Amino acid sequence: PCAKWNTTAITIAGNGIQGNTPTQLSYPQGIFIHDKTKRLFVSDSFNNRIQTFPLDRSTTTGTTVIPRILQGFKIYLDDDDDDDFPTIYIAMNGASRVEKWIKGATHGIIIGDTCLDCTGVWLDKEKNVYMTERKRNRILKWSPVTNLTTIAAGETDQSGPRPDHLKEPEGIFVDKTTNDLYIADLVNHRIQKWPKDAKEGVTVAGSSDGDPGADAK
């Protein structure tokens, strides 16, 4: 049987009013659940901070774990090394880069090369860091072994509905079993699956020709 969503939502973070108090958010752009501590991490973009909230709703007051960042978008949590506080990777849209924040840090570590209009970040099982460079229509991949940044998907400064092109991509996800890369290809109105080392993607949701619409093709 298919799972069904509860049609009544429960607010975990924010109070519906834009603001910068501990109970408010301003244009949140990314979320990630930390299973070990049962907390929701939120990229509170216009407040330039990362907030956490308990999933059990014991309080709706957020705790700032990373302050004074420059318009963070998507985030990724890596908790392989520490049980109570994960390493946080932030796609810093306002700074055009990805930063890595470890427990107790007062500043982030810059990962890889410049990522213009950076909107997405994810890690694979080998700790390679994938970054969405929306402005240049491509996904970058940084290796912690070689310290080199390469192109994982898309063609630099080329956009359109071709299977080897992207158009202002945003969110990304890497399947740690297959290393397949999934891309929210925003302006092409589709989700692309990009197998490891492939030269082009396969449309798994939306229209393969980039047309918008409410019906599946």
Mean pLDDT by groups of 10 residues along the chain of 217 residues: 76 94 97 94 98 92 95 93 86 96 94 96 97 97 97 96 96 96 97 95 88 62
Task: Give pLDDT, residue 1.
Answer: 56
Ordered domains of the chain (ranges, CATH): 26-111 (2.40.10.500), 116-217 (2.120.10.30)
Task: Give pLDDT, residue 10.
Answer: 86
Distance CA 99, CA 85 (A): 16
SS3 readout for 73-92: EEEEEECCCCCCCCEEEEEE
What are the pLDDT digits (tens) for 70-118? 999 999 999 877 678 899 999 999 999 999 999 989 999 999 999 999 9
For residue 91, which of 107, 68, 115 has the smallest C-alpha distance?
A: 115
Task: Give pLDDT, residue 9.
Answer: 82
Distances (CA, A) of 78 to 55, 75, 125: 18, 10, 10
Asked whether the beta carbons of 129 and 99 are under 8 A apart, the reply is no
Task: Give pLDDT, residue 136.
Answer: 97
Task: Give pLDDT, residue 214.
Answer: 64
The HSE-up count of residue 216 (CA atoms within 13 Å, CB side) is: 4
Q: Is 66 helix (H, G, I), strand (E, B) or coil?
A: strand
Indicate the DSSP class of residue 108.
Answer: P
- The angle subtended at Cα 168 by Cα 16 and Cα 178, nearest 5°, is 95
Amino acid residing at 129: V
Task: Give pLDDT, residue 80.
Answer: 77
Whole-model pTM: value is: 0.92
Asked whether the beta carbons of 133 and 92 are under 8 A apart, the reply is no
